[in-house]
Amino acid sequence: MTNTNPSLIDKLKEHCQIRHLSRSTFESYAHWIRRYYRFHKRPPRELNAQHVHEFLVHLAQSSMSASSQNQALNALVFVYDKVLQMPLGDIGAFARAKRPQYIPVVLSVEEVQRLLSQLQGTYRLMAQLLYGTGMRVMECLTLRVKDIDFDNRKIFIRRGKGAKDRITLLPHTLRPALQAHLLVRLNVHQCDLRTGAGQVYLPDRLRFKYPKASREFIWQYVFASAVIRSGFRWHASDTALQKAVQAAARRAGIHKHIGCHTLRHSFATHLLQSGADIRTLQDLLGHNSVKTTMIYTHVRVDSKVKSPMDRLAPLAEANVDGSVLANGNELKCKLQESMRSSP
């Protein structure tokens, strides 16, 4: 706890746990409190709304992104209001930074097929689930055995973003691979138990209410880490999955900036293109407002709408060497090859 009051960080962690905030939320809040302390070189308890205003202005002038500015503001308001019990009130003429509206990157069906073909083993199964269910990365990684309903083809997502539960689809085509994967997990879990390990983290106070549940297979993570720490087997690494997906995209020659979340965007867009109802999609994605889901309606472009440039196609093609048009496939192959060879 360098450069800040350790007791304040401890209290912050306690308040985050009481309100069931995620670990990542606590870590981001702690990060901004440390930066706030380093900026003023005084404990937050000795500061007030004017100091918060100065810090936020400093972030804005340093070309900080809108999301980071808002995150810093949320952290400071939370600490002063809930932890220090010193509500800030009016912090002056500082408005929340306006986040730019953006259109998510979406893969075509053919690009999804190419991407998945470049993945192997567990990484491939996880990527298939991300695309087939619309889950977020951490929702997939923290999925437990008991939350998969093979008979009714459902997946129960517990405490997703905003601490909300919801139900999503279990793709029929993934049932055999997922069942085979769980058989392997069962064998690994039984080996863990024989060695005195085999525990798994349980949320809230369930470990006290059900003291034996942490060793039961139904509570185990579907995608578990290969490493056991202090007798516990945690879920797989999100960083490793992100790197695997990005490397697969390079090998597949996909010229887009993508990550695991791109598969969620593609799931939503392709469902809309197949005629799914926007309200149904909202429930599957776990959005609070249908306005958030509506962004995927802007991703679609009606194939019947033609660019006015296409009316000039004969004239435009007349100015292009025929050999260039004929070698379009060769150009595509060379681009893909260059992507594969890039670091």
Whether 254 and 296 share a structural domain: yes
> For position 38, which CATH number holds?
1.10.150.130
Element (H, E) at 228: strand 224-229
- 231 belongs to a structural domain: yes
Return the active site residues.
136, 161, 261, 264, 287, 296
Instruction: Please say which residue of 32, 48, 83 terminates a domain.
Output: 83
Range of the domain at 109: 104-305
What's the domain count of the chain? 3
Whether 128 and 268 share a structural domain: yes
- 98 belongs to a structural domain: no
Whether 31 and 171 share a structural domain: no
Q: What pLDDT tens digit does each residue of the chain (343 aa) get? A: 444 555 889 999 988 888 878 788 899 999 999 999 999 999 999 988 889 988 988 888 887 888 888 899 999 999 999 999 888 877 665 555 666 677 888 999 999 999 999 999 999 999 999 999 999 999 999 999 999 999 999 999 988 777 788 999 999 999 999 999 999 999 999 999 999 888 888 877 787 888 888 899 999 999 999 888 888 889 999 999 999 999 999 999 998 999 999 999 999 999 888 888 889 888 899 888 888 888 887 766 555 656 666 666 555 554 555 554 455 556 556 556 665 555 5
Whether 30 and 177 share a structural domain: no
Per the listing, tokens 């004969």 go with: 314
- 92 belongs to a structural domain: no
244-to-84, 122, 127, 239, 280 alpha-carbon distances in Å: 43, 11, 10, 9, 31
Q: What's the confidence (pLDDT) of residue 187?
A: 92
Q: Which residues contact 273 (CB under 8 A, 6 or more apart)?
A: 300
Whether 316 and 298 share a structural domain: no
pTM score of the predicted model? 0.73
Whether 210 and 284 share a structural domain: yes
Whether 232 and 311 share a structural domain: no
